[in-house]
A and B are shown apart, each in its own frame.
Chain A
Amino acid sequence: MASKNLTLFNRIRDSDIYFSFIKSPTAIVSTIILLIIFFCSFFVEFVTPYNPFDPSSLSLMDAFTPPSWTEDGLARFILGTDGQGRDMLATILYGSRISLIVGFSAVIFALVLGVALGLTAGYFGGKYEMIVMRLTDVQLTVPSILMALLVDGIARGIISRELHDEMAIYVLIFAIGISEWPQFARVSRAATLVEKNKDYVSASTIIGVSNLIIMFKHILPNILRPVLVIGTIGLALAIIAEATLSFLGVGVPPTTPSLGTLIRLGNDFLFSGEWWITFFPAIFLVILAFSINLLGDWMRDTLNPKLN
């Protein structure tokens, strides 16, 4: 086992991807930032002593405390507090967790659905392929944000109002996921068409390997690179989409606020001068999306030899 791991490690160390990674400061910095954000968001209970959703721990006396470095700031609230006296940093981290959960789930949903349809469409071709591709065509003409809004609107009509808040997060994941799958389907179909015509696939067919195994053992690993790039960029898009929907008031409810909800709630205080309530969640969101995009951009340049 040990020797096997070693060779895998050596392979990684020898690979061009690793080389280009350690040569790219932006890739390293964005990865570090992302790791910190992921860690702090998922282990937020251990990172901050405050729980913004425990009413007993809140005091309205603390409401609207500005950031600690300003004149009226308090050292215990680094980024200040909001209208209910909740610590901004803790609120943001809890919100970021929701945003990340929604983002990741939506992308994984879109990825699995898109790759499954794209791979099979590219492999089998014929009428099935045509139907899948027409479907993506039609859906791609409907911008993702509109698609998500629509799904959300329909869900509101179907699900009763009381249930809706509980279901909101699932509806959101579904809405964003469904708006992103065509990208994955197109990319994986295009890549499958290229791979399908390569001789190693013919060789397996001639040997007698079944279609299912050819698709998942042979083709799938070979189309993962572009899918991964789309997935990374898609993650940023999903997080932004979630924030946007929540900002528009059709995303997660204020009881479990995501970054977008926080920005929307803070926006009301912008004109009265409490800028930090909306500013910090917004900056946090931008840093998060920017880091993911930087990483995705680097991945695209590295994994796409055509443009080097």
Chain B
Amino acid sequence: MKKAKLFAGITLLSSVALTLAACGKSESRSDESKTASKFKEVVPTKAAKKGGTVKVAVETDTPFTGIFNDELSTSATDTEVMQYGAESLFGTDDHYVFNNKGAATIKVDQKAKTVTVEIKKGVKWSDGKQVTAKDYEYAYEIIANKDTKSQRYTSSLADLEGLQEYHEGKAKTISGFEMPDGENGRKAVLHFKTMRPGMNTSGNGYIWEAAAPYHYLKDVKFKDLMSSDKIRKKPLFFGPYKLQKLVRGQSTTWVPNEYYYKGKPKLSKITATVINPNSVAQSIKSRKFDVTQVINSQWKNVKDTKGVNFIAKIPLQYSYLGFKVGKWDAKKGENVMDPKSKMNNKALRQAIGYGMNVNEVYKRYSYGLSFRIPTLIPAQFGDYFDKNIKGYTYNIKKGNEILDKAGFKKKGTYRVQPNGKPLTIRLAAMTGNSTAEPIVQNYIQQWKKLGLNVKLTSGRLIEFNSFYDKVQNDDPSVDMFIGAWSLSSEPSPNDLYGAKAPMNYSRFVTPENTKLLNEMDSQKAFNHKYRVEKFHEWQKYMFDEAYVIPVANSYSITAVNKKLTGYSLKPSDSMGNGFPNWYNVAYAK
């Protein structure tokens, strides 16, 4: 399991919303690569001055919860409203690999099975106290102690020696967490059961990347922590800004943290205010805020706004078409594939893939802000992404050939199964914005051209909760489904497609898949070249078998006041928390 901050902070719901929201009305688009160069990731750099207030829009339907603690927070909106103070311990390069430019340094030692973390001197909480090794350990305690009701405890984190014992209440301390210079020292040595090749990458899920102020929180009982004022009203952070004022659910106001280890930040104030997503386009046009996230379906309304820079990144997420070929065995905790299931036919799945005119659909409905993706490993992962795989490009002729060859004969309008039984495929798809329905209907029409009778499960699009209820519980009324994932920044697909992964909603298990996934995360895979090779092999395998067909991803665009400088969406410019480094943001002279 992976770490749940940052990119990962986006839950299913919001990632789906993002993906679907990315489909708007028609506007032509050239090709994917051209669109990619349409946006920059950074606003132009200018000479900065001191002072000024930056107003940031927080777009959400619901008031934020306001649990200002990485170990306890479960909502993406909370992560968003605390980004100004909640800096992560580690910095990364643009491919999310740890570098030592953040608040702490990290060293992975495969042989000794240790990870050494050293917090830099001068990294201080907003009350002036040095961040210590104990603060780092305390984050682990908050996660693992059952009383806190944290959702963050995972079997991956339990790779740390003694964490499971602590979690189960069998041990009072975490035996694998060593503090060579004592609690007030800055050094921590973490002892692991098994070393993983992804450990040098942010979001790997084995190493927690935040600290919690022990000296400040130690008087609060674990069970009261989540609702305590020290978390909810007056939290401590070691990032560039500290929380000055909170209006529950509505806004947070931040002022410089004078103890910030890189120096005093330049802005005099930042306010983050909740606005209804329906008001976003108007807010950008009337420049109510200095930083606003664009909702892609409203792009046409806002793109000509003067006085703002539009910058964008491609988030770590994708939508996909999954085929149900088995069931989850809750007792054994593993996926069981049913070789006789309707969709367990490679030719059928491939043909369905060739029948999707993803590019045309998004050209029509998303202003070119969404685009087809060829493989299940996003291009942002650098060399792990296999650029030779072209994916399922729209090709009705090829689809028909494949089906003919595999014995799906036509009887009237539609094809029948090779055994002569009629074939109806039921597709589950989620409700989204106004374009969700036409997009799905379009696919159904294309599949009809292949002679495939595809019907919507329940006869219409399904609301988010019901959708996942059906998909997670392997409802027999679902043969295939269009879902979406937001990914962790460590590329291993084991948690989504492994034999023991409950989120492998297709329920496919093949020896080859298991072998490749294991190899990717094996000790041998500490060799980068070997790991890349295995990633490429897996992508080829998944393309060929088509148990899951990747569909699309979308730009995530931010409108930034032209007077601001230093605002960057590059991972290397982030504070390790997936958000821009606010220390660098200032008004231009």
Query: Do the two chains bind?
Result: no
**Contacts from B to A (Cβ < 8 Å):** none
**Contacts from A to B (Cβ < 8 Å):** none
